[in-house]
């Protein structure tokens, strides 16, 4: 039974070509001969149209991708340029005013100046047409963005180097100034012993020296400068006190010299005799007799405690009077010599 089925299947298969051929004949007999080429041409047109549509869609997509990439590159350049210009017009502008003598390492100033002289690229943007030109513009913009990024970093580092070098020089200068002032104050403290009008000024100076010694190795220039100013004020106080004592000593010496000169003048005045003459009435005319009161080396008479008696009237026309110099320094006075 199975063999019979197989035989029938084979027979059916063998008859198929004939059926197809007959069908072709039927089609050929039922349609014009030009229809088949027309259908084939139409199919070709459809295929060409489909291919063109696909190509157009592809190129449009690629163009849009290129435009997007260029726009992103343009935005990157804008952001990088803003960051760079912020440093140029901000920190770098301030640091550019620092001179070589204000920093510990002058090379940092030169490096900053060189970095500021760099010419930034000219921004063009995405104004190109077509995918190829847009791709070229994107590459150029990406290169510019990298330039701005790298130079923003190098310029920032140059600014930091100058700032740090200036801070180091400032600290070094403050330390040296404080150290010198401590040495000056210490010498003055030693030299001023016994030479000031007010010793409290030397005590103030001592405290300022102790404070300065503690801060000599500090890291804050402001505190070092404050300690130096405190020393300067204390030094001025001691110097002013020395000047005051010197002036007082000079005035005292001048007063002593004046007193000594006055005493010498008084002693010299006492070295001459005080002599007056009187006339005695004698026969044959008048004669004069000198009354000597003593030499300059004689001890002055003591001051009288009671008024001297009036001289006794006589026939003499002249009476002898003597000067008395009290030993207590009171003014001299005159008394009759007899």
Strands 321-324 and 333-336, how do they pair? antiparallel
Cβ–Cβ under 8 Å, residues 293 and 275? yes
Provide the percentage of residues in the chain whose pLDDT is more than 70: 64
Provide the percentage of residues in the chain whose pLDDT is more than 90: 51
| pLDDT at residue 234 in the model | 97
DSSP state letter for 317: S
Q: Place 93 in a pLDDT band, splitting at 50, 70 and 90.
A: very high
Q: Helix, strand, or coil here: 285?
A: strand
Phi/psi of residue 334, nearest 5 degrees: -115, 145
Query: Among residues 237, 240, 223, 118, which one has the least CA distance to residue 171?
Result: 223
Q: Say which range, 37-51, 110-124, 130-144, 253-267, has the weakest mean pLDDT.
A: 37-51
Mean pLDDT of 160-182: 96
Residue ranges of the alpha helices (H) in the chain? 2-30, 35-89, 91-95, 107-116, 131-191, 200-215, 221-269
* Element spanning 335, H or E: strand 333-336
Q: Where are the domains of the chain?
A: 1-27, 31-100+120-167, 192-268, 273-293+313-338
Please report, for residues 270, 272, 299, 300, 318, the alpha-carbon distance to residue 293 in angstroms, rounded to integers and kept in the order given: 11, 10, 11, 10, 16
Cβ–Cβ under 8 Å, residues 208 and 231? yes
Q: Helix, strand, or coil here: 178?
A: helix
Mean pLDDT of 212-227: 94
Q: Place 182 in a pLDDT band, splitting at 50, 70 and 90.
A: very high
Alpha-carbon span 192 to 198, nearest angstrom: 11
**pTM of model > 0.85:** no
Q: Place 192 in a pLDDT band, splitting at 50, 70 and 90.
A: very high
Termini Cα distance of the chain:
210
10-67 pLDDT, tens per residue? Answer: 344 434 444 434 444 444 445 566 555 656 555 555 454 445 456 557 577 787 888 8
Cβ–Cβ under 8 Å, residues 151 and 84? yes
Phi/psi of residue 106, nearest 5 degrees: -65, -20
Q: Say which range, 38-42, 91-95, 153-157, 268-272, has the weakest mean pLDDT.
A: 38-42
Cα torsion for 9, 14, 16, 20, to the nearest 10°?
180
| pLDDT at residue 42 in the model | 55
Query: Among residues 25, 5, 24, which one has the least CA distance to residue 13?
Result: 5
250-282 pLDDT, tens per residue? Answer: 999 999 999 999 988 888 777 655 544 444 444
**pLDDT, the chain, mean:** 77
297-332 CB burial, b ≥16 within 10 A, e <16: eeeebeeeeeeeeeeeeeeeeebbbbbbbeeeeeee
In sequence order, what are the beta bridge partners of 242? none
């Amino acid at each position: 039974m199975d063999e019979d089925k197989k035989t029938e299947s084979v027979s059916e298969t063998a008859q198929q070509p004939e059926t197809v051929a007959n069908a072709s004949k039927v089609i050929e007999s039922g349609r014009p001969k030009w229809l088949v080429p027309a259908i084939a041409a139409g199919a070709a047109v459809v295929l060409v149209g489909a291919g063109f549509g696909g190509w157009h869609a592809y190129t449009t997509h690629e163009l849009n991708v290129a435009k997007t990439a260029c726009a992103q590159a343009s935005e990157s350049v804008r952001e990088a340029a803003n960051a760079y210009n912020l440093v140029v017009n901000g920190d770098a502008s301030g640091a550019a005013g620092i001179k070589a003598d204000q920093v510990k390492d002058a090379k940092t100033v030169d490096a900053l100046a060189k970095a500021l002289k760099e010419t930034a690229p000219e921004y063009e943007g995405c104004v190109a047409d077509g995918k190829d030109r847009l791709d070229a513009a994107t590459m150029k913009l990406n290169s510019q963005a990298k330039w701005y990024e790298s130079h923003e970093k190098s310029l920032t580092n140059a600014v930091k180097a100058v700032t740090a070098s200036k801070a180091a020089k400032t600290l070094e200068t403050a330390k040296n100034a404080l150290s010198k002032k401590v040495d000056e104050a210490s010498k003055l403290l030693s030299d001023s012993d016994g030479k000031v009008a007010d010793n409290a000024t030397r005590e103030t100076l001592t405290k300022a020296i102790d404070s300065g010694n503690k801060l000599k190795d500090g890291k804050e220039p402001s505190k070092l400068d404050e300690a130096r100013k405190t020393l300067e004020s204390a030094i001025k106080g001691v110097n002013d006190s020395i000047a005051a004592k010197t002036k007082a000593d000079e005035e005292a010496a001048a007063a002593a010299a004046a007193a000594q000169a006055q005493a010498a003048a008084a002693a010299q005045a006492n070295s001459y005799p005080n002599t007056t003459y009187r006339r005695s009435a004698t026969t044959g005319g008048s004669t004069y007799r000198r009354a000597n009161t003593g030499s300059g080396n004689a001890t002055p008479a003591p001051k009288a405690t009671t008024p001297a008696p009036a001289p006794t009237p006589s026939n003499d026309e002249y009476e002898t009077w003597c000067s008395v110099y009290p030993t207590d320094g009171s003014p001299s006075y005159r008394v009759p010599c007899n």
